[in-house]
Amino acid sequence: MELRKYVSGILEELREKGEDALRDCMRRFDGYTGEMFPDSQEWAESEAVEEVDRNIFERVIERLLDYHQHQEKRGFAYLKNGSLFGLKEVPLSRIGIYIPGGMPLPSTLMMTAVPARIAGVEEIALCTPPVQGRIPTPILYLAKRFGIKEVYKIGGIQAIAAMAYGIGMKRVDKIFGPGNAYVNEAKRQVYGDVGIDSPAGPSEICVIADENANKEFILNDLMSQREHGKDSKAWLLTPSTGLAAFCDNGQIEISVLDSLEDCVRKANEIAPEHLQISVNNPLKYLDSVINAGAVYFGEYTPVPSADYFLGTNHVLPTGGTARFSSVLTVEDFGKKIAFASLSEEELIANRDLGIRLAAIEGLEYHAKSLAARTPRKEGER
């Protein structure tokens, strides 16, 4: 409750006082008083990324493109009884991407920018807190790589407010990207004024494994997500007491269950961000998994491969929201618009449906709108 109230107060201050409050927050929270965006020298110096890292970025981008380009747009149109019906897909006009401070996260920028560009988003504003007054070189290099010209040295609550309310920049349509508790609460509170991807929480991993699994693999996989932060969660579900004992280090929640089927049922109750199934013939459990952000099968598909180079997106629902939310896809960077064109004949043949429903709902002019459209006499336009 205190977090909610605190964030609400900062957002209100920013909304009321605009750019003056934004610069004050940048000073108070980011310790930065310079220009809001990189100068020409910083952009030029972003080319200093080592060749080996450029090659790494390009290989990862290629894998992301390969996977996300399969997410075809699903608009449609059809004719029936002389009438036209359809659904068109259009990209969002302008989005904001937030990259947390501290260590640079080029993987997150790639995971959001690739599907955005595939969807056809034209304008992207990128916000990230400066490190010693500068945007981390890998972030600025990738921004240039994706044609992102708007990069702002703004972090935290104030970055979310700037993008949502158009403070110091043109407002965006939807905000993407992870952050700390303050950022996520800010995203939750600005939702409605602007769209958001999801209120991301601490990282999660759930591993289903049996006695055939490589114990070292499993322990390292579980601990990989724990190192995202002290609030990160790791679950091991297994019928093997030996594996359970090997992984019992006090940082992993372990359940020893009677069967692998019981393990899958338990995983569906947890609805984890990442679900890893390391058993013989793991794909046979795919149909049984109904609640997970993403599922990784076999001992050679550890979650860190998805964090970095697998090609699937690592922006996933957390905190049990995989019960009703999905992995980030190209579709999240667009919207759907219904369209229709009724023929005169079909309107006349079916208007009684609307007239009666309007009467039931007590909406007089709904009924009149339909009733006024009588069949045209021969020769009338």
| Residue 163 confidence (pLDDT) above 70 | yes
Sheet of strand 76-80: strand arrangement: 76-80, 83-91, 334-341
Instruction: Give pLDDT tens digits for 346-357.
Output: 999 999 999 999
Residues whose CB falls within 8 Å of the CB of residue 91, separated by 6 or more in sequence, listed in order: 119, 120, 121, 122, 333, 334
288-301 confidence digits (pLDDT tens): 999 999 999 999 99
Mean pLDDT of 354-362: 97
Residue 222, CB-side half-sphere exposure with 13 Å CA sphere? 28
Catalytic entry in 13, 68, 185, 274: 274
What is the per-residue pLDDT across 52-99, written as a single tens digit (0 to 9) for each?
Answer: 999 999 999 999 999 999 997 788 999 999 999 999 999 999 999 999
| Catalytic residue status for 273 | yes
pLDDT tens-place string over residues 165-192: 999 999 999 999 998 899 999 999 999 9
Confidence of residue 380 (pLDDT cuts 50, 70, 90): low
Q: Which of 13, 42, 185, 273 is catalytic?
A: 273
Domain extent listing, the chain: 2-198, 204-324, 344-381
What's the CATH number for 2-198? 3.40.50.1980
- Backbone torsions φ then ψ of 163, nearest 5 degrees: -70, -40
Determine the Cα angle at 282 with ends 276 and 284, to 5°: 125
pLDDT at 154 over 90: yes
Which tokens belong to 28?
A: 């108070």
To the query of whether residue 58 is one of the catalytic residues in this protein, the response is no
Does the pLDDT of residue 146 top 70, yes or no?
Answer: yes
pLDDT at residue 381, rounded to an integer: 62
Fold held by 204-324: Rossmann fold (3.40.50)
Give yes or no on whether 2-198 and 204-324 have one common fold. Answer: yes
Is a pLDDT exceeding 80 seen at residue 358?
yes
